[in-house]
Amino acid sequence: MLRDHSLRFLAALVPLLLLTAWPGQAQSLPDHGAFTELLEEIVETPLVDYQVLMQQRDRLDGYVDALGRTSMSQLESAPTNDQLAFWLNAYNACMLQLVADHYPIERGGVGFSQRVRNMATSRPDNSVWWIRDVFDGEFCTVAGEERSLDEIEHEIIRPVFEEPRIHFAVNCAAYDCPQLREEAYVGDRLEEQLDDQVERLMAMSRHFRIEDGNPPTLRVNRVLDWFSEDFGGEEGIPEFFAPYLSGDEREAVLRDDVQVDFFDYDWTLNDVHAEPEGS
């Protein structure tokens, strides 16, 4: 009798042991190290060598496959920073994959709606806008579902994480998009990485400039105009940058009468082998 009870106890215990013996293993997210190694090879800050990417396409596809095999339950059980790092990497990897599918990008129009065609005709010949359904087409499998770039950014990253610094981290493959980082985002360093992305943009006068005057003018990348609501409206943009500044610059952006203006945006592909508009 004792033996029977022991067997039943062990039978009930085994499933629990399988679930708890290696708690990190069953719920672990993909290792982003492979993506970092690829980015180190293709990113020539602030641009990308897409010809090298084409030679390394299998490595990119392998990483995106790993993102696709990740389940939503795995993501939801991970720390918040790990989740956000996952989705930022997913957006950037999927965009790279889409560009690689159409590289070299050339002016086209087959299958475009009239609305998209009208928008695209004002873009450079090698802009991602000449890729059909570039932002709203479902082409990239992430966390078990085919998703569009718009879904990843506007239905997952922005509303779920409410983190304005993501606009310095997702890369839309344009010359004036905040630059693609030469490493993957990782949860345990995400705060540092996001702050660094903000500071990198601020270091480039084509993206960030404080112009003297009475009142002074803060000129910034137009991405912040498109997503100003994530910064508390246009008036929140100077306040967002203030902690990254000191002295006279900080004082200037915190003036009640500071003016905010936005640079024109160049949609030329961020390719080391391309010439940006006006160059």
What's the whole-model pTM score? 0.87
Question: Which ranges constitute the DSSP H helices of 126-275?
Answer: 149-150, 158-161, 190-202, 223-226, 236-241, 247-253
Over 70: is that where the pLDDT of 160 sits? yes
Alpha helices, DSSP H, located in the chain = 2-20, 23-26, 33-42, 50-55, 57-69, 72-76, 80-102, 114-120, 149-150, 158-161, 190-202, 223-226, 236-241, 247-253
- The confidence score (pLDDT) of residue 13 equals 45
Cβ atoms 140, 64 nearer than 8 A:
yes
Contacts of 63 (CB under 8 A, 6+ apart): 30, 34, 35, 38, 93
The mean per-residue pLDDT over the stretch 195-217 comes to 97
30: preceding bond cis by omega (within 30 degrees): no
Identify the pLDDT of residue 119.
57
Residue 83: what pLDDT? 98
Confidence of residue 12 (pLDDT cuts 50, 70, 90): very low
Output the pLDDT for position 223: 98
Phi, psi at 271, each rounded to 5°? -105, 130
The pLDDT assigned to 10 comes to: 43
**14: pLDDT confidence band, cut at 50, 70 and 90?**
very low
Per mean pLDDT, which of 16-30, 114-128, 214-228 is the most reliable? 214-228
pLDDT, average across residues 225-235 = 98
Q: Is the per-residue pLDDT at 15 higher than 60?
A: no
Q: Is the pLDDT of residue 275 over 70?
A: yes
Return the domain boundaries, the chain: 15-204
pLDDT tens across 82-102, in order? 999 999 999 999 999 999 999
Average pLDDT, the chain: 89
The residues, any chain, with a CB within 8 Å of residue 45's CB and separated by 6 or more, are 179, 182
Q: How many CB atoms lie within 10 A of CB 50?
A: 22
- Cα–Cα distance, 171 to 91 (Å, whole number): 8
Helix (H, G, I), strand (E, B) or coil at 208: strand
Please check the confidence at residue 2 and state whether its pLDDT lies above 50: no
CA distance 80 to 203: 29
Instruction: Categorize the per-residue pLDDT at 279 as very low, low, confident or very high, splitting at 50, 70 and 90.
Output: low
pLDDT confidence tier of residue 21, bands split at 50, 70 and 90: very low
With b meaning 16 or more CB within 10 Å and e meaning fewer, what string describes 234-265? eebbbebbeeebeeebeebbeeeebebebbee
Q: Which two tokens stand for residue 213?
A: 């005057």
Q: Judge whether residue 247 has pLDDT over 60.
A: yes
Q: List the one residue out of 75, 64, 60 whose CA is nearest residue 27.
A: 75
Q: What is the pLDDT of residues 105-159, one digit of tens each?
A: 988 654 555 455 555 567 899 999 999 999 999 999 999 999 999 999 999 999 9
State the maximum Cα–Cα separation within the chain, in Å, rounded to a whole number: 92
264: three-class secondary structure by DSSP: coil
**pLDDT higher than threshold 80 for residue 27:** no
CA 45 distance to own-chain centroid: 16
- Of 213, 219, 211, the C-alpha closest to 262 is 219
